[in-house]
């Protein structure tokens, strides 16, 4: 499933818009502590949504050297996830674990972290984020199997609404042989478990 890339990242949202938001919230945008806030917020949101300007296919450089004899799982866990939910623009954060079984090609390990970051720096829901990472890895690296597990805390649940601090949402995506090979699936899920 290909994810459309927004090539028209909107630069029309200005510091004046953030000033109006502050005023709308009941603040004095001319107060000393808020004078530079609109510029800082604009810069922060450009960073938090910079994934729209990245092409995931360009991130996944593959190597054939070193992969010709390796046919076991490769797992990277503890990959940081920082994103914003598209429903409230509230942050959610946690970690991702990615595993795959190579099929003659391996990807640089740092590229898996970059792939997570690329999709996390878009307005998201955790479920979509999980499958986007798995689908992209499957499409561009063409491994025998892919597994992705993401664990996150969501500020839209912790700081408003039901207000349940510390609750963790866990999502997973299993593709290729990981869907049909119970032993492989169990091995990945065991490796993806949180450290004791």
Last residue of a domain, one of 27, 48, 69: 48
Radius of gyration of the chain (CA): 20
181: containing domain = 54-192
Catalytic annotation, pick one of 27, 156, 158, 177: 156
| pLDDT grade for 10, boundaries at 50, 70 and 90 | low
Q: What is the pLDDT of residues 31-80, one digit of tens each?
A: 999 999 999 999 999 999 999 999 999 999 888 777 777 889 999 999 99
Q: Is residue 100 part of a domain?
A: yes
Active site residue 118: no
* Coil/strand/helix, residue 65: coil
Known catalytic residue: 85? Answer: yes
Active site residue 87: yes
Whether residue 28 is found in the same domain as residue 121: no
* Residues composing the chain: 196
Mean pLDDT across the stretch 157-168?
87
**Residue 89 maps to a domain:** yes
Catalytic residue flag (residue 154): yes
- The reply to whether 156 belongs to the active site is yes
Give residue 65's pLDDT: 73
Residue at 76 is within a domain: yes
Question: Are 90 and 127 within one domain?
Answer: yes
Catalytically annotated residue among 118, 126, 140, 187: 126
Number of domains in the chain: 2
Give the residue from 3, 117, 109 showing the smallest Cα distance to 51.
Answer: 117
Catalytic residue, from 58, 87, 127, 168: name it: 87
Is 129 inside a domain boundary? yes
Angle at 24 between CA 20 and CA 30, to 5 degrees: 55
- Same domain flag for 19 and 116: no
Q: Which residues does the annotation place in the binding site for Zn(2+)?
A: 85, 88, 156
> Do residue 60 and residue 132 come from a single domain?
yes
- Write the DSSP symbol of residue 153: E
Look at residue 123 and tell me if it is in a domain. yes
Q: Both 95 and 185 in a single domain?
A: yes
Do residues 41 and 119 both lie within one domain?
Answer: no
- In three-state secondary structure terms, 101 is strand
Contact 48, 121 (CB under 8 A): yes
- Whether 88 is catalytic is yes
Which residues are bridge partners to 146 per DSSP?
100, 175
Indicate if 30 and 61 belong to the same structural domain.
Answer: no
């Amino acid at each position: 499933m290909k994810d459309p890339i927004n090539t028209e990242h909107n630069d029309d949202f200005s510091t004046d818009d953030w000033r109006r938001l502050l005023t709308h919230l009941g603040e004095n945008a001319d107060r000393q502590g808020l004078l530079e806030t609109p510029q800082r917020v604009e810069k922060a949101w450009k960073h938090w949504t910079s994934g729209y300007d990245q092409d995931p296919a360009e991130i996944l450089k593959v190597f054939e050297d070193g992969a010709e004899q390796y046919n076991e799982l490769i797992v990277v866990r503890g990959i940081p996830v920082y994103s914003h939910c598209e429903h409230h623009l509230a942050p959610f954060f946690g970690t991702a674990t990615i595993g795959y079984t190579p099929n003659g090609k391996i990807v640089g390990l740092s590229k898996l972290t970059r792939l997570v970051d690329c999709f996390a720096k878009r307005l998201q829901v955790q479920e979509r984020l999980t499958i986007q990472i798995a689908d992209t890895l499957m499409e561009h690296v063409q491994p025998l199997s892919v597994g992705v597990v993401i664990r996150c805390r969501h500020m839209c649940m912790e700081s408003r609404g039901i207000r349940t601090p510390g609750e963790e949402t866990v999502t997973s995506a299993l593709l290729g042989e990981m869907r049909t090979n119970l032993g492989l699936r169990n091995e990945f899920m065991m490796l993806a478990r949180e450290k004791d």
